[in-house]
Amino acid sequence: MAVSSSERYLKRRGNRYQFRREIPAALRHHFDGKTAIIRPLETSDTKIAKRRRDEIARETDRLFDEARSGKFSKPVARIEEIADQWRAEIEAHDADPLAWSAKAGRRVEREEDALSPHEVLDDEVEGIARLHGEDAKARFLDRLHNRTTVEEHVETHLGELDLKPKTLQGRRADIGLFAAWASKRRLTVRKVGRREAADFFAEVLLPMNRKTAETKFSNIRVYWRWLIERGFYLEDSPWDRLRFPNQKKARAGQAKEAERPFSDDEMRRLFAGISEAGGKDRERLNDAMRVGALSGMRIEEICRLTVSDCQDGLFRIREGKTDAAARTLPIHSGLASLVARRCKGKAADERLFSDVRGKGASLSDPLSKQFGRFIRAIGVADLREGHRRSKVNFHSFRRRFVEDAIRAGVPHHVVSWVVGHAEGRDGITLGVYNRGGPSEAQMRSCVEAVRLPEGVA
């Protein structure tokens, strides 16, 4: 498949970009037999990656031209590597100026006569600007003077956290939002003060949905505290004094309403709407709704089930949002034929909902978006002024499952265990003396206590 010019030489490796350019076969002997030039771009920001890609592309153009004309010289080190080498030279000079001067070719007896690396550093800086551009020069000086970029240590910070992949993905995106903003303004970590933090807060966060903005702000602030602990930022956090405006207190009788379960009427409208809808995704959505309604599983848990997870009349959830999410629960009798149909002809490691083609930490994203469009189209979405999320969504199947099971007289701790709530496993009685949890018979009674409302086929 042809690669567009805008994506040429760019490759994704995890969350970051790298430069990769094939070396023409006739020139590979100049490059010790290597088939490609590969360099990490150390950024997840597409615009920054393209800018750095263009610098290295110009460099490799020059190298290939030199190789063809017989004037080849080995590829130069990356800008950051050159800066690190110079920083090491400066440290060596500061430790022993006379020895460094002698190594550089000037033997003197007095320190004041010793050669300084700064005497030749200016030529290096101008050479970088001439060959690679002003942006490369700025990157060189930032690295030389230990001006840490905002995004430079994000992966190290996230790597120290024991969080689920989807949570890590969210934190990476939240910190990346500020990193991209800071990069456009050439702000390194140490250049971010209260004024800059306040500008970002006002320009980017305040116009957002309040809950979304608070989450992003919290993740950025936690990262900044980590930078302070590691010595990359030497002052008090510029984020700690920033506050969101006080929200107006709700008037009596107008308290904020929480997201809720589907009503009987909404459930009937949902499944009637599916039966009348067309399109190749109808079966997928219908099946997912039924599994959600009769199992209480989260949408991501449903989408991660494999064929091997759906055997012997049991669903096996390997992992989920919390540690308590890993569990085994009986398959509702109303789902037996659906599960058998979806397992038929598939390998053990294929997903039950293989037609939901999400990626990474959020396999369920396409299904979630499809369901959101569907409930809006049939008029079931409960949208309120000032709120971007409907008060009913796919999670409302789970809320209804819990509500119906409890109303049917199922003990709370059994319901909690079946749906993977932590409280079903906490405490002395349940957490210590009953670590095995409810019996399969108790869990099956819980699952079978839940029914689709009358009128749903």
pLDDT band at 329 (very low <50, low <70, confident <90, very high): very high
pLDDT, tens digit, for every residue of 52-98?
Answer: 888 888 888 888 888 888 765 554 456 767 777 787 887 888 888 88
Q: What is the pTM of this model?
A: 0.54
State the Cα–Cα distance between residues 371 and 384, nearest whole angstrom: 18
Average pLDDT (289-298) is 94
Give the pLDDT of residue 224. 94
- The pLDDT, as a whole number, for residue 222 is 95
Average pLDDT over residues 202-216: 90
Stretch 351-355: mean pLDDT, rounded? 92
The answer to whether 349 and 306 have CB atoms below 8 angstroms apart is yes
The answer to whether the beta carbons of residues 36 and 27 sit under 8 Å apart is no
Which domains are present in the chain?
5-69 (no CATH), 79-144 (no CATH), 169-229 (no CATH), 264-448 (1.10.443.10)
Q: Which residue has the higher pLDDT, 324 or 364?
A: 364
CA 318 to chain centre: 21
Q: How confident is the model at residue 30 (pLDDT cuts 50, 70, 90)?
A: confident
Which segment of 41-50, 187-196, 232-241, 410-419 scores lowest on mean pLDDT? 41-50
Q: What is the pLDDT of residue 106?
A: 72
Each residue of 119-175: pLDDT tens digit?
777 777 777 777 667 767 777 777 776 667 888 888 889 988 888 888 888 999 999
Are the C-beta atoms of residues 137 and 125 closer than 8 Å to each other? yes
Task: Burial-class residue 74 by CB neighbours within 10 Å (0-12, 13-18, 19+).
Answer: exposed
